[in-house]
Amino acid sequence: MPRLTPLTPDTAVGASRDLLADLVSRHGHVGAMVSTMAHSPAVLGGYLQLSRAMGRAKLDRGISERISIAVQTVQGCGLCLDAHVGAARALGIDEAEIERARTGTSADPAIAAVVALGLQVHREPASITDDQIAALRAHGYSDRAIADVVGVVALNVLTGAFNLLAGLTPGSDTGA
């Protein structure tokens, strides 16, 4: 059961009303997470900016989804996990690879290395070593792609933590 009430352009105030009205006018509706984030214009605005920025990430979308699946499995946000598993399937990632992502790995050693980095950024970023970064470069990852891992993890921490705090679960994202 949601702990926070989703808002609409009619019930939101100030900057949140403007952000929601713009989103609804462009997309027809917004999901429960976005409409509930509208309680804080800072959180909603920050989420929208980071989400747009990560849309320009250099990291392959399939890899980003695998990192997201790994992080959300650890974080425990069912709503986010369902969304990222659905996105991975839409990209053609098979069920075995999705299961590997849930455990923080991949059949492909290069993908396994970057997914592991994502989990490490989430759990213990101070333990990342120069050798790990060198190994990622040897797998063909650019510095930009490696840096993008932090953005993917940050976006997942924000959305997952928000959904858990707000009590949003699969089935509660009915749109506003």
Looking at the fold, whether 147 and 80 belong to one and the same domain comes out as: yes
Per-residue pLDDT tens digits for 26-68:
999 999 999 999 999 999 999 999 999 999 999 999 999 999 9
Both tokens assigned to 138? 């040897």
Predicted TM-score (pTM) above 0.85 = yes
What 3-state class would DSSP assign to 111? helix
Are 36 and 68 in a shared domain? no
155-172 pLDDT tens trace: 999 999 999 999 999 986
The pLDDT, as a whole number, for residue 175 is 45
Average pLDDT for 56-84: 97
Please indicate, yes or no, if residue 7 is contained in any of the structural domains: no
175 belongs to a structural domain: no
Overall number of domains in the chain: 2
Q: What is the pLDDT of residue 10?
A: 93
Same domain? For 145 and 72 the reply is: yes
Higher pLDDT, residue 1 or 159: 159
Residue 155 CA to residue 149 CA, distance in Å, equals 10
Query: Residue 131 sits in which domain range?
Result: 61-166
Q: Which amino acid is at 156?
A: N
Average pLDDT rounded to a whole number, residues 2-6 = 95
Averaged confidence pLDDT in the chain: 95
pLDDT, tens digit, for every residue of 102-137? 999 999 999 999 999 999 999 999 999 999 999 999
Q: What is the pLDDT of residue 1?
A: 84
Would 83 be classed as within a structural domain? yes
Looking at residue 173, its pLDDT comes to 54
Q: How many angstroms separate the CA atoms of 5 and 42, rounded?
A: 17
Residues 74 and 105 in one domain: yes
pLDDT at position 12 is: 94
The amino acid occupying position 88 is: A
Q: Are residues 20 and 73 in the same domain?
A: no
Q: Please tell me the predicted confidence (pLDDT) of residue 3.
A: 96
Res. 77: pLDDT tops 60: yes
Are residues 134 and 111 part of one domain? Answer: yes
> Which residues have CB under 8 Å from 46's CB, separation 6+?
158
Q: Give the pLDDT confidence score for residue 40 in this predicted structure.
A: 96
Residues 50, 76, single domain; the answer is no
